[in-house]
Amino acid sequence: MGHELWRLSQPHGDAVNVKLPKGLVKRVFVFAKPYRRRLIMLMTIILGMSGLGVLNPLIVKLIIDDALPNRDLGLLTLLSLAMVGLAGLIGLVAVVMRYLTSSIGEGLIYDLRVALFNHVQRLPIAFFTRTQTGALMSRLNTDVIGAQRAVTETTSGTLSVAADLIVTAAAMFALEPRLTLVSLLVLPLFVLPTKQVAKKLQALVQQRMERDASMNNQMTERFHIGGALLVKLFGNYASESKRFSGKAADVRDIGVKTAMYGRILYLTFTVAAAIGTALVYWMGGRMVIRGTLETGTIVAFSLYLARLFGPITGLSNIPVEIKTALVSFNRVFEVLDFPSSIQQRMGAVDLVEPKGAVEFEDVWFRYPAGPTVSIPSLEEGRPDSGAEEEENLWVLKGLSFKIEPGQMVALVGPSGAGKSTISSLVPRLYDTTEGEVRLDGISVKDLTLQSLADAVGTVPQDVHLFHDTIRANLAYARPEVTDEEIVEATKAAQIHDLIESLPDGLDTMVGERGYRLSGGEKQRLAIARLLLKDPAVVILDEATAHLDSESEVLIQRALGRVLEGRSSLVIAHRLSTITSADQILVINDGRIVERGTHLQLLRGGGLYEDLYRTQFEGGQASLKVSDEALPRAVDL
């Protein structure tokens, strides 16, 4: 009975008033098809266990009614040994049942988690910019386990409860029909309170799940290195503590209410069971006194009562448990069914020996609306149903340019002009809305995703390193890389001497997101990682924007090695880093407003010249460049 109460307290909050899609149950069992044989074995054993369970009260009856009155020591010994043997057999069968349930359950958890992980990591970057990480992790953990429970615990539990109820009721009826009818009179005392209290428990559990999620989200954000740093920099310890203690207090209060309702339900079951048992003993006792019933029958009947009332209690909870488990499966399928907007086309070709020619032809782009790239229920503050968003504005407007193999093209312009968006279209982090991006004359949409990823390498402004060793982070570019190749790459990236000075060298842990390293050190590791990847096209997204002068010098040396023989698209914040570019594109409001070399653009008297003078001369000194030396910039 305690176990049933525990299960009743576990449903996910979403199980309350949730309308499940048609065909969900069928799909659940299709997903469990690989475990069909083991499920059939489990169900067979459950039925057998129900049959074995009714034998022990019969043995007790025989001992009391036959062995003891007749002083038959042989029969007593035989029945006692039978009782021990039966217990041993039930124990062995229970071990087999445990193996089957655990192997099926853990197998399903493995299948679901791997399927979710494989699917999610292939979703577009837009999905991750909108999704709450904690909510996504809940699908991979809490909901996967809840879904597994639908196939193992709930399914097997339902069959076990139903089998126990039928077999026990049949045994009781065969033993004494009149007492069986009396026992069934107390059934409403079990079912009605269960339904009423269960509704309140469901509502409380829903509240607790919501409060737990809110509390855990605060912990996740504040204990992340970035969140912890922000709290410390602002010194908001008191307000954070007050906010967290309020959420924790809500969880505490709901826990107390849940425990009290659970105890009330337990008290109801206890009283109902006592009433049923008392009625059996009162009526059965009268029958024994009158000589119409044997004493052993009453004892056996009382043992059957325990087996009857337990299943009845469990049976009343099964609808809640089934719906709860199916909700978890539905939430898992919601992620698995969500299509990626970045798909590999049928017949996509591998890019063999890429040369690095990049072409943008009349490219228009706007960021896709939320419902097309993310799941509303995974976005913080949005309802599950979601809402249609207004059409996004154009970010890029008719861009056309080329990067010849080995050339460097730089993108400059004010913040928000669309520079990073341009760079994201080459590796297909996003797809163009209109127009084409080509690599070596082939649309990137017609290339296999793996060959495109192999051909394009990026050094972002905010370098991400995994919480692992320097060696592991570098080898992420090419897992089969040798130590000799790592050393060569780190030397070229101007980071080898630093690594050598560390006590653990390449085996030094970098910390979460690489926070144990400076910005310049992380950038140089990213450059070394890029060298190990050896791509044909390099994208540098303001790689030196926030570095000190010394780090910038080291990175400029490293970048010189990276750009040798490779095509490159460079987003420049510091204009001094792109003076040698083959072509500079000035981006403003999603358009190319100027293009040319550094000297051509300085002579042009346009936005580039304004940016350059503001950055290097404070807008006061004039550049000493003759009109004859500088061709006019091309204004678009």
pLDDT at 201: 67
Residue 56 lies in a domain: yes
DSSP 3-state of 228: helix
Distances (CA, A) of 290 to 66, 173, 293, 294: 19, 20, 8, 10
Does residue 601 share a domain with residue 521?
A: yes
> Mean pLDDT for the chain?
81
pLDDT at 278: 86
* Opening angle at CA 471, ends 469 and 477, nearest 5: 115
Does residue 392 share a domain with residue 282?
A: no
Q: Which domain holds residue 273?
A: 2-336
Q: Are 598 and 584 in contact (CB under 8 A)?
A: yes
Nearest C-alpha neighbor of 182 from the set 57, 52, 304? 304
pLDDT for 143 beyond 90 = no
Residue 344 lies in a domain: no
Nearest C-alpha neighbor of 307 from the set 625, 493, 54? 54
Q: Are 263 and 138 in contact (CB under 8 A)?
A: no
Strand-pair partners of 434: 364
pLDDT at 205: 65
Residue 383 lies in a domain: no
Higher pLDDT, 20 or 620: 20
pLDDT tens digits along 292-329: 888 888 888 888 888 887 776 666 566 666 776 777 78
Residues near 32 by Cβ (< 8 Å), separated by ≥ 6?
39, 104, 108, 151
Q: What is the token pair recorded at 376?
A: 């509303």
Does residue 450 share a domain with residue 325?
A: no
Strand-pair partners of 358: 403, 439
pLDDT at 382: 52
Please state, in angstroms and rounded to a whole number, the distance separating the CA atoms of residues 59 and 166: 20
- Report which residue type is found at 184: L
Does residue 366 share a domain with residue 294?
A: no
Residue 140 backbone class (left: φ over 0; alpha: ψ -120 to 50; beta: rest) = alpha
Does residue 240 share a domain with residue 371?
A: no
Please state, in angstroms and rounded to a whole number, the distance separating the CA atoms of residues 578 and 567: 14
Q: Are 139 and 335 in contact (CB under 8 A)?
A: yes
Does residue 301 share a domain with residue 369?
A: no
Does residue 124 share a domain with residue 255?
A: yes
pLDDT at 354: 93
Distances (CA, A) of 622 to 143, 301, 573, 601, 629: 65, 106, 21, 14, 15
Please state, in angstroms and rounded to a whole number, the distance separating the CA atoms of residues 213 and 217: 6
Residue 515, class by beta-carbon neighbours within 10 Å (0-12 exposed, 13-18 middle, 19+ buried)?
A: middle
Does residue 453 share a domain with residue 587?
A: yes
Average confidence (pLDDT) over 480-486: 91
pLDDT at 615: 75
Residue 592 lies in a domain: yes
Does residue 139 share a domain with residue 44?
A: yes
Residue 348 lies in a domain: no
Split at pLDDT 50, 70, 90, the class of 629 is very low
Q: Which of 302, 336, 370 is the last residue of a domain?
A: 336
Residues near 506 by Cβ (< 8 Å), separated by ≥ 6?
469, 470, 471, 474, 483, 486, 499
Does residue 626 share a domain with residue 571?
A: yes
Q: Are 157 and 321 in contact (CB under 8 A)?
A: yes
Q: Are 76 and 296 in contact (CB under 8 A)?
A: no
Exposure on the CB side of residue 306, measured as CA atoms within 13 A: 9
Q: Are 14 and 330 in contact (CB under 8 A)?
A: no
Does residue 324 share a domain with residue 236?
A: yes
Query: Edge to edge, what strands does the sheet with 442-443 contain?
Result: 396-403, 358-365, 434-439, 442-443
Residue 71 backbone class (left: φ over 0; alpha: ψ -120 to 50; beta: rest) = left
Please state, in angstroms and rounded to a whole number, the distance separating the CA atoms of residues 173 and 180: 6
Predicted structure pTM score: 0.76
Task: Return the CATH number at 215.
Answer: 1.20.1560.10
Residue 125 lies in a domain: yes
pLDDT for 73 beyond 80 = yes
Nearest C-alpha neighbor of 113 from the set 78, 140, 87, 142? 140
Residue 352 lies in a domain: no
pLDDT tens digits along 463-476: 888 888 999 999 99
Residues near 528 by Cβ (< 8 Å), separated by ≥ 6?
474, 486, 489, 490, 492, 493, 495, 558
pLDDT tens digits along 345-380: 999 999 999 999 999 999 999 998 877 888 887 775
Domain count, the chain: 2
pLDDT tens digits along 149-206: 777 777 777 888 888 888 888 888 888 888 888 887 777 777 677 667 766 766 676 6
Q: Which helix (H) or strand (E) holds 135?
A: helix 133-138
pLDDT tens digits along 429-461: 999 999 999 999 999 999 999 999 999 998 887
Does residue 202 share a domain with residue 85?
A: yes
Task: Return the CATH number at 460.
Answer: 3.40.50.300
pLDDT tens digits along 392-412: 689 999 999 999 999 999 999
pLDDT at 633: 38
